[in-house]
Structures are given as C-alpha cells and as structure tokens.
Amino acid sequence: MTAACLMSTYQPLSLSFARGLGSRLWDQAGREYLDAIAGVAVTGVGHSHPKVVQAISDQAGLLLHSSNLYDIHWQQQLANRLTRLAGMDRAFFNNSGAEANETALKLARLHGWHKGIEQPLVLVMQNAFHGRTLGTLAASDGPAVRLGYGQLPGDFLKLPFGDLRALESAIAEHGPRICAVLLEPIQGESGIHLAPTGYLKALRELCTRRNWLLMLDEIQSGIGRTGRWFACQHEGVVPDVMTLAKGLGNGIPIGACLARGKAAELFTPGSHGSTFGGNPLACRVACTVLEIIEEQGLLANAERQGARLLQRLREALQGHPELLEVRGLGLMIGIELRQVPRDLVQKVAREQGLLINVTRGQTIRLLPPLVIDEAEVEMIVQGLVRALNWR
C-alpha cells in the first residue's frame, strides 16, 4: 500500500494500528503498545470503550444527520451538560478545535463592533497554537506553521504568556481598540507551559473591568485532562468564551464554543453556522464521554495518576545531563530537554512498546488516556528512562 495519493502534510511513521482497547494499541503485526499520547489528547476514556462503541452503533442505526434546520435532541442534551459543567449559558457546535476558535474570534469581532470599535484588536499569546485555518493561524505563533501563507488576517497583538506588565503596556498603546483576550490556560503545542499562578484571575478581573471578552482555548486542556473538567477551574476562573474539541468526542470529530452573558447573545440567525456541526452521532458520543468520565471517576484518576507520573518522572530523571524541567498538571505533562534526537528517542520508546510525542523540537509531551492506572504510569516512566539513555 502506498501513501503517494495523499498530500504531504504529515510525515507518518511506517506504523499502522489495527485495534485499540483502553490505554493500549496493537499494530498490524499484533504488537502491543501503551498509548501515552492518546491521539494528541483525544481518546481520554480509552480506545474502544464499550459505552462509546454502543452509542456509535445505536445512533448509526437511527439517524446520522438531519441538519440544523431542525431541533436535534442530542445537541440540546450536550449543550445542557457542557454549559452546566462550565458555568456558561449557550453552546455552538462544529467539527474541530480550529472551527471552535474561529467561532470565538467571530464573537470577539462582534463584541468589538457592538462597542463601536472600527478595528477591534484581540490580544493573543506568544508560543500559542489555536489551529490551522487562516484566522487561527494568525492568532497562533511559530514561523513553521505560518510559512508561505502570506498576509494573514490581522487585528491580533501577541504578548508574552503570563506577563502582566506586557498587558499594561498593550493597554497604554492600544487600549481603545482591544475587545478580547484569547489564550490557552496551558500551552500544549509549545511544550506544556502552565499559566503562572494568579495570571488567569488577573486577566478575568481586567477583562471584567474593561469590558473585554476573556476567551479560553481549552481544546487540549479540557474534558478532564488536568483533573478538573476544564483547566481554568483550578483557579476558579469562568471565562466569557470557552472552546473545546479533542477529548470531547473521544475520536469522533466535534468542536464546541461555549459563551455566557452578553457573549452568548451576540450571534443571531444567519450570523454563523455549520453543516455538520452538532449532528446526532457526534453529540450522542460526546454525551456518552461525559457520562463515562463521571461514572468512572476519571477526574480524580487524572489528578491522582498525573501527580504520580510527575513525581516518578522527576525522581527517575533527576540528574540526567539533558534534562531542563519536568512540568505539567494532571495528565498533561512536558519533559523539556536541552537536545532531543527526536526520531531516535521516539524510536527507542516504540521499541519499549511506548508511544510518545516530541513537540517544538525539545519537549517530550505526554497526554495519556484518563483511564491510565499505576502500573501503566510506571511503564511510561521506565520506557522513558530507557529511551533517554540512548547513548
């Protein structure tokens, strides 16, 4: 079989999986692997969870699509559950994280327009990643993902992540144009960087005082990954807009943009839409994912096993000549190294039956399923120790 007919947007390994169950995957030859990346924070409740399989099977035999011209029962059920969990008022459903962030950016523009701002400005963060559409690329950072796309949509101002003084400078120079702030509570693609303690609270107070929208991208950090439903809940912060995707569908494509207060009233009929967004299959699966997380106590498990994994990694890698830092929250962990022979480290890990990811060239990113247990935590630690002692 050849990949010659596929556009060259990826550099996939010559490794193909035939099936998965829980935290494990099996390749075409039947070899077993521990999946410590979970499809990049997607399969939070594990591969082939029986309740997810049943929900897909049942709904496929009933109704896949009717369009948003009609009420969709499962869409309303999911909106009710998500808004309750997040402390929000309304939801809009689409198909991906990038689309969810595009929705948020449209809300920011409308908010600015209602304030009478001719050229509304959205504050975003250096080293952020919000998606691969032209709008979300403009809001993201990093030359590699932007190269060759010419003039991207403007009206974004990039600030250092976690720097309140930079916010003050932005206000002094651009205050009347600013209408919103968009950021990840934990920057994922850039190497698992946590917002400093108190930063999100300070942003919340600032946005309230200046009538800006606080918009949090919880696409990678949400749906239980950090031991709370959403990472912002560790500081008791409720944004005006929140975006979700990845773990919400456990592999079925779905994105969501939640909003509250005035932000939830900005869209009117015809001002936004999605052909496939919020279809019965995706919404039923997402409802099932939320049920599984609650029934199996996976928030507590993510918190417990994440703390264990952080501690064991710090113990096992202490004194390693290449180690700079082990950081993270819950099951969202980064191991930053001085130099990473990326392909070699991932190859040695695979030989140990461990699937990992290296992001931004020097940080090993771990995003294991929320169902992981103590024995699997130790398997990750030992596999990484061997992978990092390649010499």
Catalytically active residues are 129, 217, 246
Phi, psi of 245 (to 5 degrees): -170, -130
**DSSP letter at 119?**
S
Contact (CB, 8 A) for 14 and 333: no
**DSSP letter at 133?**
S
Strands 323-329 and 332-337: antiparallel
Gap between the Cα atoms of 138 and 130, Å rounded: 9
Contact (CB, 8 A) for 159 and 180: no
Q: Which residue has the tokens 């999100």?
A: 200
Gap between the Cα atoms of 218 and 225, Å rounded: 10
Q: What is the 3-state secondary structure (H, E, C) of 46-70?
A: CECCHHHHHHHHHHHCCCCCCCCCC
Phi, psi of 172 (to 5 degrees): -60, -35
Contact (CB, 8 A) for 33 and 27: yes
User: CA geometry: angle at 63 spanning 61 and 68, to 5°?
Assistant: 165
